[in-house]
């Protein structure tokens, strides 16, 4: 092996390690961020290619989680403040708009599979019904 050839192999090896490191970071940040009903946007939708947005729906709140290269962005709405859920169905994917009763900016979730969008709306409606049900009937 000549000196030039060994230098080329070393450069390829370093590039492979760097690309592998970035792929590992993207994979780790794309995993569900919590246990429970977490809905992840499709990587094929705009803005979700590398780090797909996730939505966690619990009996008490709705949390939108967006991972980033450094850190994350989380927005949550208490179930009592959710006023409506709208689903805008496109050809392949759906957009979900979760509006609040307080007038704050809504949670906009784009790029979810149609079944996930319907399940998100159904869960929110079920949890709201349970939240507002009188104590004696729970």
pTM of the model: 0.76
pLDDT at 3: 65
Specify the pLDDT at position 137.
64
Q: Would you kindly state where each structural domain of the chain is located, as residue ranges?
A: 31-137
Reply yes or no on domain 31-137 having CATH 2.30.29.30.
Answer: yes
User: Could you say which DSSP state residue 105 is in?
Assistant: P
Q: To the nearest 10°, the Cα dihedral for 39, 44, 48, 50?
A: 110
pLDDT of residue 57: 95
pLDDT band at 1 (very low <50, low <70, confident <90, very high): low
pLDDT tens-digit readout, 81-133: 999 999 999 888 999 999 988 777 888 888 899 999 999 999 999 999 988 87
pLDDT band at 138 (very low <50, low <70, confident <90, very high): low
Q: What angle do CA 56, 54, 133 make, to 5 degrees?
A: 20
pLDDT for 49-85, tens place per residue?
Answer: 778 889 999 999 999 999 888 888 899 899 989 999 9
Half-sphere exposure of 30 (CA within 13 A, CB side): 15
């Amino acid at each position: 092996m000549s000196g030039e050839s060994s230098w080329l192999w070393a450069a390829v090896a370093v590039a492979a390690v760097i690309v592998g490191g970035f792929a590992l970071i993207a994979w780790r940040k794309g995993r569900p961020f919590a246990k429970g009903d977490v809905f992840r946007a499709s990587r094929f939708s705009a803005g979700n290619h590398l780090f797909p947005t996730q939505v966690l729906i619990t009996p008490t709140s709705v949390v939108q989680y967006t991972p980033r290269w450094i850190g994350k962005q989380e927005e949550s709405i208490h179930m009592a403040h959710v006023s409506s859920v709208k689903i805008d169905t496109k050809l392949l994917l759906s957009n979900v708009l979760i509006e609040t009763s307080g007038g704050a900016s809504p949670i906009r979730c784009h790029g979810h599979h149609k079944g996930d969008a319907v399940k998100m709306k159904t869960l929110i409606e079920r949890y709201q019904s349970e939240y507002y049900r009188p104590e004696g009937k729970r």
